Amino acid sequence: MRRGVGISGINQQLLEKAKFNEKGSELARDHLDKLAKQFETFRDNLESFAEKHKNEIKKDIAFRRQFQEMCATVGVDPLASSKGFWSQALGVGDFYYELTVQIVEVCVATSSQNGGLISLDELLLRVRKARGKSRSAQDVSHDDILRAIKKLRILGDGFTVIEPANNQGRILIQSIPGELSMDHTAILNSLQTRSSFTVEQLREQFKWSDERIKTAIDFMIKEGLLWIDNNGRNIEYYFPGLFTAQRVTAGESV
């Protein structure tokens, strides 16, 4: 009959297990140390790259976006502070802080016409117009506007990006406090393919009750998001934020 493992055998197994765990922890520490050194090396190289190509980063929209994406891969946020290396070396921080101020100014100036909802296209057009066409004025892109708006979130829920359904249509910027419901967003998305709608069209498209439609429309009218056109036959509703961008493009003051 085989004898069981004695006390000395158990102690030996526990000792070997402890040594194995200690060796595993040592290897894990070494791995983390190597990763930390690699990160520091990459960060140093990233700063050298940024210093070398700062003019391209500031002036070239596509190059600036690629640089931002490269920073994101290692958790570096060049917009995190208006002071420090990134702002001093690139002026990137100052660029985006100036841009956020211009975004706020445009949203405030147009809120009486669009109720605080503006398409990303129109916002970009107006910001570009405000910046002027001089050589010293750096051009901005949709990506720059969206990155700047993310920084505005520290002010609360006043600035929100509303993405179109299935990425089909225009992106909207909400600059008024409060959150739109799913019904409101559905109505906005329905206006991506037409300039106006009627209660009958919403009833047919969404299969909603008249009470549900009325509740959604009344809220959007109260908030100034919709315009009403009573032509004597059918009442039509318009969302000004989806068509004023064309007038801005044509140079008309809205």
What is the percentage of the chain residues whose pLDDT exceeds 90? 12
**pLDDT tens figures, 32-44:** 777 667 667 766 7
Q: Residue 214: pLDDT band by 50, 70, 90 thresholds?
A: very high
Sheet holding 160-162, edge to edge: 117-119, 172-174, 160-162
| Measured distance CA(254)–CA(110) in Å, rounded | 8
Q: Residue range 201-205: average pLDDT?
A: 91
Other beta carbons within 10 angstroms of residue 57's beta carbon come to 23
Question: Among all chains, which residue has been given the structure tokens 């299935």?
Answer: 166
Residue, of 89 and 112, whose pLDDT is higher: 112
Q: Residue range 125-145: average pLDDT?
A: 79
In terms of C-beta density within 10 A (0-12 exposed, 13-18 middle, 19 or more buried), how is residue 34 classed? exposed
DSSP percent split of the chain into helix, strand, coil, nearest 5: 65, 5, 30
Residue 135 clears pLDDT 50, i.e. is over it: no
**pLDDT tens figures, 48-105:** 777 777 777 777 778 877 877 777 776 676 665 445 555 555 555 667 778 888 898 8
